[in-house]
Chains A and B, each alone.
Chain A
Amino acid sequence: MAEVRYEQASRIYPGTPPVMAVDRLDLAIADGEFLVLVGPSGSGKTTALRMLAGLEEIDSGRISIGDRDVTHAPPKERDIAMVFQSYALYPHMTVAQNMGFALNLRGVSKETIAEKVTEAARLLDLDKYLDRKPKALSGGQRQRVAMGRAIVREPSVFLMDEPLSNLDAKLRVETRANIAALQARLGTTTVYVTHDQVEAMTMGHRVAVLKDGVLQQCDTPRTLYERPANAFVAGFIGSPAMNLHTVPVSENGAQLGELTLPLPRATTANLTEVTLGIRPETLRLVGPEEAGFKLAVELVEELGADAYLHGRAHLGDSDQRFVLRVDGRTPPTIGQTVNAGLRDTGEIHLFHPGTGERLD
């Protein structure tokens, strides 16, 4: 068990021009923490994980595990275990051999290996399959073998690279819960990579959002949701995504159609425009007499209790799309024009129109 620390760690992929896959990453992961690295494809999240694994060189900066600097240590000296997206099981070994391989390499006695493998197999419900080859297993079982291989090692850090992406939707939700429970039980520091923000929000103690190799924000899921550090994080976290629109700033505040949103003076001083971030649940339908903006309904997604309304508003001189959450029992129909207003002006996020940084 150990804490993990990235200090200005960078990875440059050679080429013309060279690409900063991970750009001066600073990240401290506490002992026993479940940290999720999330971002769109190409954000450098997997590269960051592989740097920690020792599978990717670190071109500058350093990485430490516990109090050891492992920046240039080969993978086997890092005391880590990794679960790969493709599981990477050894095709020529049985489940038991797959799980015991690392211990075998370290010269652990046969009895001890058998004992630990059996224990892990019981934990993962794999006891019946110990003599099978990976080929003869289902996707879910393979995934569990990959987990088992990591557990048996009793490493100080678990690394998981999108371990659920090859499972079907139902199994994914189930396994998600199992992994989280397992990690809580073992208390092993875990770094988990995913592109799925729902996975990130539900599993991680903290979530680190990456974009273009740069860390955007690292915080608890709640904070990411409530106080996104910039427009990118705001748009990435939450489903459906936050409505982000850049609107003009007037004397009285930001102008959203006929709706004037008062802004704290200090934050928007010297700005003629501001990027508003409004979550779908912050918007609501209002009567024609109330202050709001007109929205042409283009699509209604009914989810039962709620419905999501996708519409187009004419703001200034351009059309802008909005999503809002409405009551699932009486949703408007496509083609209707509705009036949209706010539930609470306090829930609006303000971002700098140029840099996207949070204002306040």
Chain B
Amino acid sequence: MATFAPPRPGPMTPGARPPAAARREAWQRRLPLTPALLFMIFVTQIPFVFTVIFSFQSWNLVRPGSQHWVGLGNYANVFTDSAFRGALFTEIEMTVLAVAISMVLGIGLAVLLDRKFPGRGIVRTLLIAPFLVMPTVAGLLWKTTMLDPVYGIVNYLLRLVGVAPVDFVSRFPMASIVTVLVWQWTPFMMLIVLAGLQSQSGEVLEAARVDGAGPWTTFRAITVPHLRPYIELGGLLGAIYLVNTFDVIFMTTQGGPGTATTNLPYYLYQRAFLGFDVGQASALGVVTVIGTIAVASVALRMLFTVFSTTEGRA
């Protein structure tokens, strides 16, 4: 392209805007971002830098003066630490199970609620309640009133059909915790999938019907592909929250029996706040973060795709 003469401010240009003013305006619009950015950097990034520094030290809080550099020692311990590996597997198992099951149930409930029926609003209201319940309470509630071997409702129901009572929390700790998590997160999945179902254009569904597709074919060929980004988003966000599961474990099994339900957050908590081993816990934290970054960068790319498809203007 040819170059063009820059704007010539004539002699009678009261409104003429020198470039400095334009720059000022750009700053005026950019400035609002800075407090939030600085705050986040200050509260989340700086501590992490310290985590990295501590991870090269041996430092036990209960032994003052024990702080000294140990190089990669802590990391060597992390990778030879079978408890860490155990916690990692527990973490993966717990997250995958909770996300997958709550997603399947959530899709089912969303399909149920996508149709008009008497009291739909009430059912929806009832269904989202578990998600709003404080996780601490959820753990408590399930451990006691629901799953207690003697007085729990579930065992009462089992007795009705002639099954001997089971101490779920100690015999099936993982299943118990996953049950609580699924109970809490199914409503979340349902809400997201339901939003997807309701964003479907009625005309497309009618077109499919005119083309001769039955309800099942329509669901498989039209609805499921349409829901895909919503399912991905729900699964992704659910996973982001669920990898940090701590409250429910703390309230029900305390990571046990043994280490059966010790996930990474809980393991780290044990090392740092029960063992006061700052160096070791920091190294664990750093390794966890590196692992998360690897997973999260894939997840983030997905997230951006979902956002750009649901966003009108960007």
Contacts and interface: CB of A to CB of B under 8 A. Distances in A.
Contact of B15 (A12, A17, A73): A73
B16 A72 contact: yes
A77 B1 contact: no
A70 B16 CA distance: 8
B103 to A, nearest CB: 36
A60 interface: yes
Interface residues of B, number: 14
B35 interface: no
B24 to A, nearest CB: 13
Nearest to B21: A72
Interface string A163-183: 000000000000000000000
A196 interface: no
B12 A69 contact: yes
Contact of A18 (B1, B7, B14, B15): B1
Interface string B78-104: 000000000000000000000000000
Interface in B1-37: 1, 4-10, 12-17
A17 B4 contact: no
A62 B1 contact: no
A10 interface: yes
B312 to A, nearest CB: 13
A301 to B, nearest CB: 30
A69 B13 contact: yes
B259 to A, nearest CB: 56
A74 B10 CA distance: 16
Interface in A1-51: 10, 12, 17-18, 20
A68 interface: yes
A70 B17 CA distance: 10
A70 B15 contact: yes
Contacts of A283: none
A71 B1 CA distance: 23
A127 interface: no
Chain B interface, DSSP helix/strand/loop, else mixed: loop
Contact of B10 (A59, A62, A78): A62
A59 B1 CA distance: 14
A60 B6 contact: yes
B4 A71 contact: no
B17 A72 contact: yes
A238 to B, nearest CB: 34
Contacts of A20: 1
A58 interface: yes
A59 B15 contact: no
B14 A59 contact: no
Q: What 9 A-B pairs come out closest when comparing CB atoms?
A: A73-B15, A60-B4, A72-B17, A72-B16, A69-B13, A18-B1, A69-B10, A77-B15, A60-B5
Given A12-B4, A62-B10, 20 more contacts: A10-B4, A12-B1, A17-B1, A59-B4, A60-B5, A60-B6, A60-B7, A62-B7, A68-B15, A69-B10, A69-B13, A69-B15, A70-B15, A71-B13, A71-B15, A72-B7, A72-B16, A73-B14, A73-B16, A74-B15
Interface of A: 10, 12, 17-18, 20, 58-60, 62, 67-74, 77-78
13 contacts: A62-B10, A68-B12, A69-B10, A69-B13, A69-B15, A71-B13, A71-B15, A71-B16, A72-B7, A72-B15, A73-B16, A77-B14, A77-B15
